[in-house]
Amino acid sequence: MAVIALLTIELISGSISSAFAQSLPGDFVFLRDIDPTIIQDIRYATSNNFMGRPIAGYGAAECVVKREVGPRLKAVQQELARQSLSLKMFDCYRPARAVADMVAWSRNGKETAAERRYNPAFSKADLFRLGYIATHSGHSTGAAVDLTLVDLGADNSRKFDPAKDYADCTAPVAERAPEGSVDMGTGYDCSDAKGHTASGAITPAQRRWRNLLVAAMARQGFANYSKEWWHFSLPGAGGAGYDFPITRAR
CATH number of the domain that 178 lies in?
Answer: 3.30.1380.10
pLDDT value at residue 21: 41
Residue % of the chain over a pLDDT of 90 = 80
Name the CA dihedral angle for 159, 156, 118, 48, rounded to a multiple of 10 degrees. -40
Stretch 1-6: mean pLDDT: 34
Q: Tell me, yes or no, whether 250 lies in a domain.
A: no
> Domain containing 208: what range?
31-233
State the pTM of this model: 0.89
Judge whether 7 lies within some domain. no
First-last CA distance in the chain: 31
Calculate Rg over the CA atoms of the chain.
19
Residue 180, Ramachandran bin (φ over 0: left; ψ between -120 and 50: alpha; else beta): left
For the stretch 57-80, pLDDT in tens is 999 999 999 999 999 999 999 999
How confident is the model over 200-225, as pLDDT tens digits?
A: 999 999 999 999 999 999 999 999 99
Indicate whether 129 pLDDT > 90.
no
The answer to whether position 244 is within a domain reads: no
Residue at 184 is within a domain: yes
Is residue 23 in some structural domain? no
The number of folded domains in the chain is 1
Would you give the distance in Å from CA 224 to the centre of its chain? 14
Torsions phi, psi of 146, nearest 5? -115, 130
